[in-house]
Structure 1
């Protein structure tokens, strides 16, 4: 998995796997989420959004299948 730099009040770090489209998000509160079927462009858009937290809530959380931890 590739570490994608992110500056966010909500998200601590983001990892993305190009091989299988898995996106791993670690939050500042200690929680983490893993999603599958995420295009690379969407992972990059998350990390470059003006508000990565809002982008996660509006685009990632609602559009991609979450995997069990």
Structure 2
């Protein structure tokens, strides 16, 4: 997994694997959410968005399969 730089009020770090579409979003609250089958362009758009947290809510949170932590 590769750590992608992100500037967000709620997201601490983003880890993404291009090989299998696995995504790990680490929040500043300490919570971690894992997903699979996430498209690379969706992740890149999230980390580049003016509000990565809102992009996560709108385009990832309910759109991709969440894995148990």
Give 5+ residue unaligned stretches, structure 1: none
Computed over aligned residues only, the root mean square deviation of the Cα atoms, in angstroms, reads 0.5
Give me the TM-score of the superposition, normalised by structure 1. Answer: 0.97
What pairs up with 1:42-57 in 2 under 5 angstroms?
42-57=42-57
Equivalent residue for 2:62? Answer: 62
Give me the TM-score of the superposition, normalised by structure 2. Answer: 0.97
More helix by share: 1
Give distance in 1, aligned partners of 2:10 and 2:55.
11
Give 5+ residue unaligned stretches, structure 2: none
**Which consecutive segments of 4 or more residues in structure 1 shift more than 6 A?**
none
Q: What count of residue pairs does the alignment treat as equivalent? A: 69
